[in-house]
Amino acid sequence: MSHRVTDAVRPSSGEGDQDRPPVAGSEQDPVTDGGGAEEKKKQPLWRELLILAGTALVLTVLIQTFLARVYVIPSQSMEQTLHGCTGCQNDRVLVDKLTYKFSDIEPGEVVVFRGPPSWGQNDFSSSRSDNPVVSSLQSVASLIGLAPPDERDFVKRVIATGGQTVECCDDQHRLLVDGKPLDEPYIYWQPGTSPEDHEPFAPVTVPEGSLWVMGDNRTNSTDSRKQGGGGVNGAVPESEVIGKARVIVLPPSRWQGIGDHNPQAQAIGAPAWQSGLPAGAGVAAAFPVLLLGRRLRARLTKVTQGKSVT
């Protein structure tokens, strides 16, 4: 004998519903009730702005401490590569702090470094206000390149590295490194000066782990030739280098990369066929890549056509 299942066990709409737990999304659900949304108050705008500003400041400090930092060019010693003078709109440059952790410092690169103890004359003096509030604002502004940092920092171009011997000059008034003349297209001679005004100095062998640095404005730069009395005392330890100057970021009219022409490249005198090796290698490598790309496209086309047929 079969038993017929009926709907008698189903409670009516008015019976038993009060004993059931409310279902999410139903009219009785207190979570989705309109009053619950109103209870969640929005944070005040000033608090959100404060959090945003604090986060931005922390990120700025971290980036400029470990990755890169904006520096104000303080003097005319690197004219006309970098522009700086008292009372004018000085260049702001982005200094890469990371690159020298993975590569060596090369001649021709423009670097920012802390002045070693032997360097008594600064490119500039960065004064801080005695007012603690103003001094704090100056420190914050220095983080984003709106004010000079309160440090003994310099910016110069690397001329020679550890173990090399540098001197001035040959009969054409060019610097010599290991007896070979340098190619220096970046040198700026102020009006009224010329290569004949290149101040001569005796040969100096740069200590290992140090750099010989000079300004591009050759007659208006206090650099390795004069700091510490000149000679080996003018060399800068590589450990004092903060980073490599990469780009001029301000003012907008000066946006450009900072050249790092190696002045020793011509002195090294690599044969012409060796200079063409990188380009030749690039062309040779391009053919197999192109062939592989064509084969890959052909296979993908066949697969696509096969799927469309089926």
What is the CB-side half-sphere exposure of residue 273 using CA atoms within 13 A? 0
Residue of 75, 97, 156, 221 marked catalytic: 156
3-state secondary structure 169-221: CCCCCCEEECCEECCCCCCECCCCCCHHHCCCEEEEECCCCEEEEECCECCCC
For 216, counting Cβ atoms within 10 Å of its Cβ (0-12 exposed, 13-18 middle, 19+ buried), the class is buried
What is the CB-side half-sphere exposure of residue 218 using CA atoms within 13 A? 22
Cβ atoms < 10 Å from Cβ of 223:
23
Residue of 75, 77, 142, 221 marked catalytic: 77
Catalytic status, residue 302 = no
Strand partners, 210: 237
State the amino acid at position 63 in one-letter form: I
Tokens coding 131: 């007012």
Which of 41, 49, 95 minimizes the C-alpha distance to 72?
A: 95
Catalytic status, residue 156 = yes
Using alpha carbons, list the distances in angstroms from residue 184 to 24, 105, 219, 266.
Answer: 77, 18, 14, 10
Using alpha carbons, list the distances in angstroms from residue 189 to 192, 215, 221.
Answer: 8, 11, 11
CB 145 within 8 A of CB 250: yes
Residues with a catalytic annotation lie at: 77, 156
